[in-house]
Structure 1
């Protein structure tokens, strides 16, 4: 009988060490190393706290962390996009705000991000108990695949004796007392009291008009999805609040992917929209409200006879009709970016704040650092932009709206004179846009991550989320001027020419190796884009590492997703069984189409020895 053929040899790439100038959180002061984690299955979660997809992944990982707590260590590698996210204190706040119950490395200069050749938020990397990278996944929705891989690794390394069971290095921080913890949104109830979403404690809090004295708490404080009386109901990181004409309150129950109602008269909480499951591409986008999945609703507002929903998780605005009991998409395509026009063709990027004012619905579009609005347009609606230019420009600059800059705003409030106040969250400021003058000014600074504001008499009450309080300010007659600062994200877009673009993945086999062509092509190239409409030609899989792409007319920016693989073997004719190696890398390349931009996009596929 012939001997069995040897199993294909899997490339083994040693995982780079974890380094970051910000240091470690949730470890009790210990500085972790991969060597110290040897024997554990390590899942590296490259995330940044502005990113809704990253927040989805945090939620996806909770069950896996709990089920495999004696074999798996999840390590968050915080890799900032915005300047504010590179501030260590902000990372500390985010880890508590989103209840991250695993060690986190603060990597403000993206050192570990670069070592692992990460190109997109979020990205998950799996390291086996012997310290080798065995999988890398960009985006969300990979929890089930990783769970299967974890079970395989447990069996393999359990049999080899290289799996170490026992408690991981997570050390919970000391709990902090206080009536509010990272409050999100607020509204004024008809009697003058203030209702606040106490997001991190999974509850609502009713405060007296002074904004400090607690009248009642709504919700048990335990994460969950449960209706009933105020003391028994459960929420999961609730955010937006809107008062309906009948006096009930609609709540954007963000991590439950649901809309809830709270009746101040009876104290009862009920679910009116959503299934508790996250919406995915291909799912229904309209129908009976309790039968359609939602995705991270972040704010709600009553406008034009319906509840409008800032559906941050899919970059759209939806509506909920309480009379009909239905939901439907109202604006946005799910493509992420800044495109105005008819509502059905517009693009948003994580809309997070809403405010109705007459015939306009104002929108804080956080990831484009933009202030936008919805208005009637014939039989439908149109989307317009007041401040902001796209995904990659942000800062703190006053003046003419066309050149003014914000940084990840989360809240917007209509003012009596027709202007709007913007909670410019990552600038720690309250800004004002005056449509009549077309100018942006600064009303107040030194606010810690303001996320919403409401009018009370002649004052504006600001939700200072990271100071865990409401702050009352007098609306000044003139804005406070601050020094202009402009930024671009560290993940800068590549300027490319329209039309034809040559994608050139450059690969050279390491010394002493050659491409392995014994069984057919030794290279593979897979190309796609976000939005898909960015590519008129060139998407799909092929074996050539050079490909001519054609960018579609009318799409100004997007992300090219490129996955390349090459197989090489030792170049030794005397060796009957040469060692072979697989070199693979994925890229997410933001591109912006500009006149005179590059006509060739080179990407280097590193030749790493396995």
Structure 2
């Protein structure tokens, strides 16, 4: 905390609009004002929201907290997204929407979060950055109440609550499939969903119809903004006495949920967020905003990771002990959290934890209660290498493929992987750093995401990404990034279910199914029949994509070609010319004799007929992996069909 020696008059609060006030600027005269400069992507900002709740209650008669939402990501400047975030995180004070950072600059804020205290006479008395200031704020506020007791205006809170929500789910976070069958509490094909803003976990059937809710729905009893869900193997669940591990994010803990009777037990964490670096041998069990969890059979051969992308080869009693971790007997398990990589590569069967609050990957062993730091130094950033040296930035989504852990590293807009080789390593498949983001397909080393929160492994071993702030599902394959779906409302998780993707469309408060594009699926006969190659002639070959817009739509070329075509080959020596990305639905190729795979990706935008200026446009996209054999006398033309659904 930096006290102001000279009295500095607080600048005017200016922004786009006010939220939680009925749309009017609040009357702050005679009040102590605490400005909270925040942005909803920032986990430290979310921590501060929770730190301020007790202070708002204690000093509510004289204190007005004003959230100044100053965005980092482009999506965070969207008015609807700001409104959703205010509701999602239970903000119960006035919020100034500051998309141009006008008030941020006026108060010389330099970090998210920044807290500024203004006395009842309108002067800045303190400014502090980061989290963990609750105690100092309490002391300062008590001093200001005493000092300005004669001028303080009490009562009359300016907070106006929004209309109550009406949807069954409210900002759901994550989804996991449950095994069905004899003795199961669910029908085959059922799912568990973390109903984050309702502070519950919900069981739904294959059609997403609600079957049962777990938890009271009251914040903190027993869940507080639950996120990730990991189903334990039956052999483990039968020993520990619960079936699912829940990342209970705001309770800073892992909870064990028994599906049969709904019993919930804290199995790791104390409910207090960890604020210090976890060192080897430290007796620390505090966690910090666990965001996702996944069961990880460690020791499996790691999937091969190409440069910038995916290689095609690709306690029964439930009672927690005093330390907050429960072992098989219900007594407290080992409480030591050890340093990065201490677990080693040979162990198997743990819950991997995306510890967003400390920018690390941890593990939790349900059988012993042990929690360990596996990767990350707590430094926020993007750095690859040995797990003890790697940097992460709010890891928020996890998936496992052949022993490799895939990580949606949200604040770096990246997808990372962790391979337990002889020397465990962290690699980056897509992503450039904390301040580089966007919406760009193409080579993985230059493609861009925007704050992804979820990852999944597709049937062919490629990686699907819930690209949350772009409202899209992306795919990483063969060192390239493509887009599978767009126009989703903050997709926060993605799950493969047969030949479809189950997507958590968080800001739309629902689950949706999307077809997995043919290019990302294994052929129906892949286990028994090898696909026959397409014979093509060596030398010049004409590639053409046939695409007919559906009825009522057309290709609008007024502003350039609305199509883009990407062609690559494996091995790359097969394709002598014609590789790369360019507009158009046709390409002249030159092929060398031999065998391999042509990778073709196309996207086309077709617009509705009618008003040429304001017509809605629609994206059509497809990937192909075409096995080819280049031999003399074969055809010199390859035609692929981009199918459009007729409207």
> Which bracket does the TM-score occupy, shorter chain normalised?
0.7 to 0.9
Residue matched to 1:605: none
Q: 1:343 aligned to 372, 376, 387, which one?
A: 387
Given that 1:203 and 1:238 are in contact with CA atoms closer than 8 Å, whether structure 2 keeps it comes out as yes
Q: Deviations over 1:527-571 (max 9, x none)?
A: xxxxxxxxxxxxxxxxxxxxxxxxxxxxxxxxxxxxxxxxxxxxx
Q: 1:164 aligned to 153, 158, 163, which one?
A: 153
Residue matched to 2:254: 259
Q: Deviations over 1:71-90 (max 9, x none)?
A: 00000000000000011110
Post-superposition shift, 1:398? 0.5
Residue matched to 2:269: 274
Gaps of 5+ in 2: 181-188, 238-242, 299-348, 521-546, 548-560, 565-647
Given that 1:364 and 1:412 are in contact with CA atoms closer than 8 Å, whether structure 2 keeps it comes out as yes
Residue matched to 1:111: 102
Q: 1:454 aligned to 490, 495, 515, which one?
A: 495
Q: 1:482 to 1:450 in 2, by over 3 A?
A: farther
**SS in structure 1 opposite 2:437?**
strand
Q: 1:299 aligned to 279, 292, 297, which one?
A: 292
Residue matched to 2:23: 29
Residue matched to 2:225: 237
- Write the mapping of 1:280-319 to structure 2, written as runs, cut at 5 A: 280-282=275-277, 292-303=285-296, 304=298, 305-319=349-363
Distance in 2 separating the partners of 1:29 and 1:419: 46
Q: 2:6 aligned to 2, 7, 11, which one?
A: 11
Post-superposition shift, 1:453? 1.3
Distance in 1 separating the partners of 2:462 and 2:86: 35
**SS in structure 1 opposite 2:51?**
helix
Given that 1:285 and 1:292 are in contact with CA atoms closer than 8 Å, whether structure 2 keeps it comes out as no
Distance in 2 separating the partners of 1:286 and 1:240: 27
Q: TM-score, normalised by structure 1?
A: 0.73
User: Does 2:45 align with 1:44?
Assistant: no
User: Does 2:462 align with 1:419?
Assistant: yes
- Write the mapping of 1:368-379 to structure 2, written as runs, cut at 5 A: 368-378=412-422
Residue matched to 1:474: 515
- Write the mapping of 1:71-82 to structure 2, written as runs, cut at 5 A: 71-82=62-73
User: Does 2:92 align with 1:101?
Assistant: yes
Post-superposition shift, 1:57? 0.3
User: Does 2:173 align with 1:179?
Assistant: no
Distance in 1 separating the partners of 2:147 and 2:469: 46
Q: 1:236 to 1:178 in 2, by over 3 A?
A: same
Distance in 2 separating the partners of 1:274 and 1:280: 13
Distance in 1 separating the partners of 2:254 and 2:480: 35
- Write the mapping of 1:382-531 to structure 2, written as runs, cut at 5 A: 382-434=425-477, 437-477=478-518
Post-superposition shift, 1:265? 2.7
Q: 2:217 aligned to 218, 221, 245, which one?
A: 221
Distance in 1 separating the partners of 2:92 and 2:4: 36
Post-superposition shift, 1:323? 1.7
Post-superposition shift, 1:284? 6.1
Q: 1:406 to 1:152 in 2, by over 3 A?
A: same
Post-superposition shift, 1:282? 4.8
Structure with the largest fraction of strand: 1
Residue matched to 1:146: 137
Given that 2:4 and 2:124 are in contact with CA atoms closer than 8 Å, whether structure 1 keeps it comes out as no
Q: Deviations over 1:257-300 (max 9, x none)?
A: 00011122332211110011110115566678xx6000000000
**SS in structure 2 opposite 1:221?**
coil
Q: 2:371 aligned to 322, 327, 352, which one?
A: 327
Given that 1:340 and 1:384 are in contact with CA atoms closer than 8 Å, whether structure 2 keeps it comes out as yes
Q: Deviations over 1:170-208 (max 9, x none)?
A: 011110112100000000111221100000111001111
Residue matched to 2:598: none
Distance in 2 separating the partners of 1:207 and 1:185: 13
Given that 2:4 and 2:126 are in contact with CA atoms closer than 8 Å, whether structure 1 keeps it comes out as no
Distance in 1 separating the partners of 2:563 and 2:354: 32
User: Aligned residues, how many?
Assistant: 457
Given that 1:354 and 1:362 are in contact with CA atoms closer than 8 Å, whether structure 2 keeps it comes out as yes
Q: Deviations over 1:203-245 (max 9, x none)?
A: 001111101x1100000000115xxxxxxxx200000001111
Distance in 2 separating the partners of 1:118 and 1:127: 14
Distance in 2 separating the partners of 1:51 and 1:282: 19
Residue matched to 1:190: 179
Post-superposition shift, 1:321? 1.0
Distance in 1 separating the partners of 2:468 and 2:128: 30
Gaps of 5+ in 1: 1-7, 226-233, 485-610
**SS in structure 1 opposite 2:197?**
helix
Distance in 2 separating the partners of 1:9 and 1:367: 32
Distance in 2 separating the partners of 1:99 and 1:118: 24
Q: 1:207 aligned to 204, 207, 227, which one?
A: 204
**SS in structure 2 opposite 1:153?**
helix
Distance in 1 separating the partners of 2:152 and 2:97: 27
**SS in structure 2 opposite 1:318?**
strand
Q: Deviations over 1:385-427 (max 9, x none)?
A: 0000111110011111111100000000111100011000000
Residue matched to 1:593: none
